Amino acid sequence: MAMNGDGVHGLDRETVAPSEAKHTNGTPSKSKIACENGEADIHAAKQNGTKRRTPTDTFSFTAEPTIEDIRRMQAEFTDERDWNQFHQPRNLLLAMVGEVGEVSELFQWRGEVTEGLPGWTDSEREHLAHELSDVLIYLVELAEKCHIDLPQAVLCKMALNRLKYPASKVHGSSKKYTEYKD
Ligand SMILES: Nc1ccn([C@H]2C[C@H](O)[C@@H](COP(=O)(O)OP(=O)(O)OP(=O)(O)O)O2)c(=O)n1
């Protein structure tokens, strides 16, 4: 039986970056504070997110289904087929990686592809939409089966990314954070 929302525990944020979770004096670490501020970040992103791009660059998603909606729909799909018995974390991981391979196949041998995929046919776009959806569906179910609250984990990880890559420091550079000297 697939888990309902009650069975999915929230992410223990201290497991996201265990080595950084607390300073030795017991005060919360920067990363823990960053994770806790994630909720505020989402509102700021909603207000500022599209301002930095020109109108021709903007593309946005519809609001639904949410990640939780996707988790629930996939749980119903597997329950109806008695497939939960096959959907352990490792199998889901392998299935997801297989679907990532199918996405890669669509880009294979095309050379660089620019944003918006100019030149792709409707059928190629539809195929890509299907394969990307397969990846997302398996990713969401994998997170569920690992008891990772994916939306909260994403908020937390983005907050950590902002700490690791301050815009003022890395603007316009694609260097890995380990390449910065200070
Ligand atoms: N045991 C399974 C089999 C399928 N699916 C669901 C999740 C994916 O969204 C989709 C994957 O189906 P396929 O394995 O048939 O893969 P494709 O749809 O990519 O078909 P193909 O490999 O022919 O492109 O169906 C699932 O949850 N569990």
Q: Is 14 in the pocket of ligand 1 (CB under 6 A)?
A: no
Nearest CA to ligand 1 atom 13: 134
Q: Which atom of ligand 1 is nearest to the CA of 86?
A: 1
Domain 67-108+120-165 class in CATH: mainly alpha
Helix (H) or strand (E) holding 153: helix 150-164
* Alpha-carbon dihedral angle through residues 143, 147, 151, 152, given to the nearest 10 degrees: -140
First to last CA, the chain: 51
Residue with tokens 């096959």, as numbered in its chain: 86
> What is the helix, strand, coil percentage profile of the chain, to 5?
60, 0, 35
Nearest CA to ligand 1 atom 15: 134
Checking ipTM against 0.90, whether it exceeds it is yes
CA angle 97, 126, 88 (to 5 degrees): 25
Structure confidence by residue, pLDDT tens digits, 108-127:
999 999 999 999 999 999 99
Task: For 72-103, give the DSSP string.
Answer: HHHHHHHHHTT-GGG--HHHHHHHHHHHHHHH
> What are the residue ranges spanned by the domains of the chain?
67-108+120-165
CA-to-CA distance for 2 and 141, rounded, in angstroms?
A: 10
Q: Is 102 in the pocket of ligand 1 (CB under 6 A)?
A: yes
pLDDT in tens, the chain (182 residues): 334 444 333 444 444 443 344 445 667 776 777 777 777 777 776 766 555 665 556 899 999 999 999 999 999 999 999 999 999 999 999 999 999 999 999 999 999 999 999 999 999 999 999 999 999 999 999 999 999 999 999 999 999 999 999 999 999 988 888 888 77
What's the gap in Å between 68 CA and the centre of ligand 1?
20
Nearest CA to ligand 1 atom 7: 134
